[in-house]
Amino acid sequence: MKKYFYFSAAALCLTLLMFFLGGCCGKVNSNQGKESKMGITKSFFGKTETGQAVDLYTLSNSKGMTVKITNYGGIVTSLTAPDKKGNFNDVVLGFDTLEKYLAGHPYFGAIVGRYGNRIAKGRFTLNGVEYKLATNNGENHLHGGINGFDKVVWQSEEIHKKNEVGLRLHYLSKDGEEGYPGNLSVVVIYTLTGNNELKIDYEAETDKATPVNLTHHSYFNLEGEDPGGSGGSNGILGHLLTIHADRFTPVDNGLIPTGELKNVQDTPMDFLTPRAIGERISLVEGGYDHNYVLNNWDGSLKLAASVSEPVSGRIMEVWTTEPGLQFYSGNFLDGTITGKSGKKYEKHYGFCLETQHFPDSPNKPNFPSTILEPGKKYTHTTVYRFR
Ligand code: BGC
């Protein structure tokens, strides 16, 4: 009997020990399983109407952030960022199929060029020659024209480094494309860092003088694009925005700058201290769609804006080497587009912070020049940092 007792106790101890060890080891393993690995995966995304094959790249960092980018238009189709509890949710608007991008959309997540924003009447004069650009926004030229950089297939190459991964995109915009002079060779490098940043480096070179103004057009909703996620987003009006700009460029009815650099003081344009986007939006005709003149521009990387979303606790900072920032509050979204999670994108469902030179600079001699000369290099860096 005694023997039996000792035997049973030993068996129980052994079982408990095995259970304990197994549990521990299992836990370690499952944690390891959950740990994110930095890397890139590539998948086929579809074909354009002209039969060009397009890929989708998923960049991941070791913290769990992922960014999906297609070489069609250099579009960021998805970007996840952590909330205050560390949960990652997709915070950009967009689609999960190429067909939906091909069917038309308002520049969701795209690289915009050769000239971001508007050029009045699609005309400008350079070295005594008048150039006529494609007009695609009433009488004006918007975001590079009918077939801008958002609608072309870019050559792509993966970049693997010690603490970051990236995607190098290249596109040759031919002399005369959309009316622009010069063959323009453009490189855009998207980098996902180990620090939850999406860095975008732009470079361009030309063989004839031409205006160049490249930007990125993600629509962010920091509460989460998917209302089934941590949020339950009703739009971006509750987001708190800070823009480090004392001045902005007022516009006419066609959203063309008048040429004035106006102080934001005592106007609803003032975001020098954090203010809810919705707080004064009704005082701004049509909503926010304005270029801000960033303070102390000297071409170095500076903090241009910060956005925090109170429900999720997400914070995004925008750093740039550019002199301007277009704040667009998604005014033209009207519920007719359904996004990747099945959500209808209503007015103000996403906002854009587009780092850029000022709109219509080729016709505004008092604005910083956007003319790239042969032998010179256009460079621009912007960082979207999530914390
Ligand atoms: C412009 C808006 C335009 C939108 C297109 C923004 O960059 O400032 O006026 O409607 O892009 O979706």
Task: Find out whether the beta carbon of 326 lies less than 6 Å from any atom of ligand 1.
Answer: yes
* Greater model confidence, 93 or 9: 93
Residue 35: its pLDDT value, please?
Answer: 65
Rounded to the nearest 10°, the torsion over CA 269, 319, 333, 112 is 120
> Domain limits of the chain?
1-35, 39-386
Q: How confident is the model at residue 34 (pLDDT cuts 50, 70, 90)?
A: low
Task: Find out whether the beta carbon of 177 lies less than 6 Å from any atom of ligand 1.
Answer: no
> Looking at the whole model, is its pTM more than 0.85?
yes
Which one is catalytic: 141, 143, 216, 217? 217
Cβ–Cβ contacts within 10 Å for residue 11, how many?
10
The fold of 39-386 is: Beta-galactosidase; Chain A, domain 5 (2.70.98)
Cα–Cα distance for residue pair 65/50, rounded to 1 Å: 34
Please work out, in degrees rounded to the nearest 5, the angle formed at the alpha carbon of residue 82 by the alpha carbons of 77 and 83: 120
* SS3 of 163-225: CEEEEEEEEEECCCHHHCCCCEEEEEEEEEECCCEEEEEEEEEECCCEECECEECCCECCCCC
The answer to whether residue 217 is catalytic is yes
Residue nearest to atom 4 of ligand 1 (CA): 106
pLDDT over 60 at 29, yes or no: no
Provide the pairing of β-strand 378-386 with 315-320.
antiparallel
Nearest to 248 by CA among 263, 259, 258: 263
The answer to whether residue 354 is catalytic is yes
pLDDT over 70 at 273, yes or no: yes
Backbone phi, psi, residue 3, to 5°: -60, -45
pLDDT in tens, 320-351: 999 999 999 999 999 999 999 999 999 999 99
Encoded tokens for 287: 């909503």
pLDDT in tens, 111-153: 999 999 999 999 999 999 999 999 999 999 999 999 999 999 9
pLDDT over 60 at 25, yes or no: no
pLDDT over 50 at 70, yes or no: yes
